[in-house]
Structure formats: C-alpha cells, structure tokens
C-alpha cells in the first residue's frame, strides 16, 4: 500500500466500459461534488478469469471498486473507513475518501482538498496531488501522506506533505510541507507511521530509497540513509506476481525500493523493507530521532532480520507479530517475534495485497491494488479481472 502502500513505476490502469459509461472517473473534483458511488455488484465482475474466493476464506468484502485503483486504507476507532486513490493514470474525484457502508466514496476532508487542476496550481500545499497513504494513529487522528508526484513523473514543487486531520471536526490541524532537500523531484514518499509517544513521523521514500523522519513538534523533516542497501530493491531475484516476472515497457525488471513500514507496539523499533527484496530490517527509533548521528553511524545500528517474503504493506499487532502482504502467492504472512513466518490467509482475490489497517477490536483490513495486472507490466495490455477491494478479517490468535 503498502500498504500500500506500494512503490510503483507509473501503473496505467484498465478502464471498464461500465465505469466510463457512468462517468465515475472524473477529470477533477469540483466544489459541488460531494458523493460518488463506486460500489459494484457481483454481476459486473463476471469475467471467467476473475479469481474466486475459496470456500473457507476468512476475508470479507468491505468495499469494491472497478476504478480508480485503491491503494491505502485506514480505520478509525469509531469504525469509519478511509481510502486513498493516487493520481497515477486515473484522476479520481476523491483521491482521499471516506468509504460509506454502501461502498460510496465521499471526498475527504472536503471537495476542495480533493481538487487538483489548473485553477489551483498555485496552492500545492492545500490540495491532494497524488496521495499515497492514509493512516490512523493511536490517538485516533487521521494522517495523509502526499508525495505529490502525479503519474510518478516527478514531484510538484511545494506539493510533498504530511497532513493531520481531526476526524471529530473533519478539519486539517497540521500541514507539514516536506522540502525538496528531503523529498527531491525524483522522490516518492510512500508510507508513514506515527510515533505518538515521542511525537515523530517515520516515512519510507521509494523513489530514491530513503527514510524520512519528521519532528512533529517543529515540523522539521530529515532524509536519512538515502540509497543505503537496506533501502534499495534488488533486481537479481526474479521476483514474480502470478508466476510472471514484472518487466516494464523498456525491458527493465521491476525495482521497488523502501516501501513497507511498521512501528513496534512500544514504538522503540521501526521495521521496513524494500518491496522487491527478501530482506527485512529494523532500527531503534531513538537513533532515528538523534540528529547528531550521521548516516554511517545510523547504518551501524540497522539490524538485518533475515529472509521475509517480497511484500508491499506491513503492520504489527498487539503481540508484536509482524504482518506482511505477500503478493507473489496472494497471501498474508505473519512473522512472530522469534522470526518464524507462517501464512495467515491465502486467497486468489488478493491480487497484489497492498496496505493494512488494524483495529483495536482485533480486525485487520487490507486492500488489493493489482499493480501487476496494469498495462505497465503487461506489454501495454491491462489484465485486471476483478474489482479492487477493501477486505477485512479477524486477526488470528
């Protein structure tokens, strides 16, 4: 997604005839737009190649969307669900949305924030340009991470930002601009975790390959460990999705850098991994918060936790089990604190499982973004054969 959050190289999305006919893919939202339904029915997904749920699958469909492509999901303590739909090749009306129980989407926090066109180009800090991640922190605040790189073609100057919204008022209460010295034109801010204990944000950045640490008291952001091996995807592994290597139109293998991120329950450790990699890393957050440490000194504190599946999103439960979305075999894996990895659920509908959201009552939400089915990775031919989803299931004991 990622949980995303995922690192992508500009996926081009397949547009269903039904979507175009109903006009769900709008050019840009307008102040008069406040609610658009993107719910689909089983009948609209009747392609014979569409994955079928196993009889024993614990995954329940929360919402489904034929287009645009969903990436991130967040769930508040009161049960409200939010999603983000980045501006890659689609231009969604609601790039950040509150998802209704009927599958509808409502631009969030309002239609103005969701608008991005020529009329607002001089206000890049006040609009969602290409939001990549939504995240609910332990205090019940909603955070949106916007790398501001439409189509992943380069950041819009003044656009990269981390935004805090109070869901009780639906108002932005903190808007942190990430400067170009930290989020360069080639950067892509990917996923975020909020340390409510120390008042910091930790972000994976996948364009260059780095971590970004933000002091939420001063709004100061720092770029760390840029292009360190722990941040970089590996093109030698022949990582596959649906059994096929991902090759872009230029013939290059997919290389996705630092992506998945998770914060331990005591907020003492930050975990991350490059997407196209079988390695998992962590570091003490205390080290990341220390501006006196150089990258070389930080690198000495990185722990290589060994092999882990190629994955997009990560999250940690109350028992410090690390969950990973494993796109190579349509599954969700769980890594115990002792390093043992097991499969929690395997379901063919998990076409590129992306981003997690955990709830206090023991539920896990996950999106599937089907990145490998987009034309970029299929010689220009989109192969998406089912809607994008938000699923949920009970966390296993």
Q: What confidence tens digit (pLDDT) does each residue in 237-253 have?
A: 888 998 888 888 888 88
- Contact between 371 and 11 (Cβ < 8 Å): yes
- Phi, psi values for residue 56, rounded to 5°: -100, 15
**Is residue 25's pLDDT more than 90?**
no
Q: Mean pLDDT score of the chain, rounded to an integer?
A: 88
Q: What average pLDDT does this structure show over 138-144? A: 97
Residue 174's pLDDT is: 98
pLDDT at position 48: 45
pLDDT at 15 over 90: no
| CATH number of the structural domain 17-34+64-394 | 2.120.10.30
Has residue 121 got a pLDDT over 60? yes
Backbone CA torsion sign across 355, 360, 361, 362: positive
Model pTM score: 0.88
Residue 360 has pLDDT above 60, yes or no: yes
Tens digit of pLDDT for each residue in 282-302? 999 999 999 999 999 999 999
Q: Which of 205-209, 222-226, 236-240 has the lowest mean pLDDT?
A: 236-240
Q: From its phi and psi, is residue 320 left (phi > 0), alpha (psi between -120 and 50) or beta? A: left
The residues pairing with 150 across neighbouring beta strands, listed in sequence order, are none
Query: Which of helix, strand or coil describes residue 19?
Result: helix
Q: Which residue has the tokens 């990549």?
A: 132
DSSP per-residue string spanning 325-345? EEGGGTEEEEE-TTS-EEEEE
pLDDT band for position 207 (cuts 50, 70, 90):
very high
* 8 A C-beta contact, residue 324 and residue 277: no
Average pLDDT over residues 17-32: 28
What does the pLDDT look like over 28-58, one tens digit per residue?
332 233 333 333 333 333 344 789 999 999 9
Least confident segment among 229-233, 236-240, 388-392: 236-240
Distance CA 86, CA 133 (A): 9
Domain boundaries, the chain: 17-34+64-394
CB 38 within 8 A of CB 66: yes
The pLDDT assigned to 264 comes to: 97
Q: What percent of the chain has a predicted confidence (pLDDT) above 90?
A: 77
Q: Please report the DSSP string for 351-393 in residue order.
A: SSEEEEEE-TTSEEEEEE--GGGSGGGTTT-----S-EEEEEE
């Amino acid at each position: 997604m990622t949980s995303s959050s995922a690192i992508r190289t500009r996926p081009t999305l397949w547009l269903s005839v039904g979507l175009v006919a109903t006009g769900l893919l709008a050019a840009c939202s307008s102040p008069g737009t406040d609610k658009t339904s993107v719910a689909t029915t089983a009948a609209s997904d009747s392609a014979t190649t569409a994955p079928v749920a196993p009889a024993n699958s614990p995954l329940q469909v929360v919402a489904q969307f034929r287009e645009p492509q969903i990436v991130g999901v967040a769930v508040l303590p009161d049960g409200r669900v939010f999603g983000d739909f980045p501006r890659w090749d689609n231009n969604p009306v609601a790039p950040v949305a509150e998802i209704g129980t009927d599958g509808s989407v409502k631009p969030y926090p309002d239609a103005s924030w969701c608008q991005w066109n020529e009329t607002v180009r001089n206000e890049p800090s006040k609009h969602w340009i290409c939001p990549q991640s939504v995240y609910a922190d332990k205090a019940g605040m909603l955070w949106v991470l916007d790398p501001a790189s439409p189509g992943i073609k380069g950041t819009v100057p003044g656009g990269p930002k981390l935004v805090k919204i109070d869901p009780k008022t639906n108002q932005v209460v903190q808007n942190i601009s990430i400067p170009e010295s930290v989020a360069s034109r080639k950067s892509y801010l990917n996923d975020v975790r909020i340390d409510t204990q120390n008042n910091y944000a930790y972000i994976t950045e996948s364009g260059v390959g780095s971590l970004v640490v933000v002091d939420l008291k001063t709004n100061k952001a720092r770029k760390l460990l840029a292009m360190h091996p722990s941040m970089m995807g590996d093109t030698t592994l022949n990582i596959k999705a649906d059994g096929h290597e991902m090759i872009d139109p230029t013939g290059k293998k997919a290389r996705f850098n630092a992506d998945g991120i998770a914060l331990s329950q005591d907020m003492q450790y930050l975990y991350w991994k490059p997407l196209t990699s079988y390695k998992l890393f962590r570091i003490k957050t205390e080290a990341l918060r220390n501006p006196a440490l150089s990258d070389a000194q930080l690198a000495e504190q990185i722990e290589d936790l060994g092999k882990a599946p190629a994955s997009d999103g990560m999250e940690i439960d109350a028992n410090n089990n690390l969950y990973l979305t494993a796109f190579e075999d349509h599954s969700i894996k769980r890594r115990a604190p002792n390093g043992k990895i097991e499969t929690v659920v395997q379901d063919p509908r998990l076409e590129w499982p992306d981003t997690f959201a955990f709830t206090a009552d023991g539920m896990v939400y996950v999106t599937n973004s089907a990145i490998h089915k987009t034309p970029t990775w299929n010689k220009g031919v989109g192969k998406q054969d089912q809607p994008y989803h938000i699923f949920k299931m009970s966390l296993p004991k």
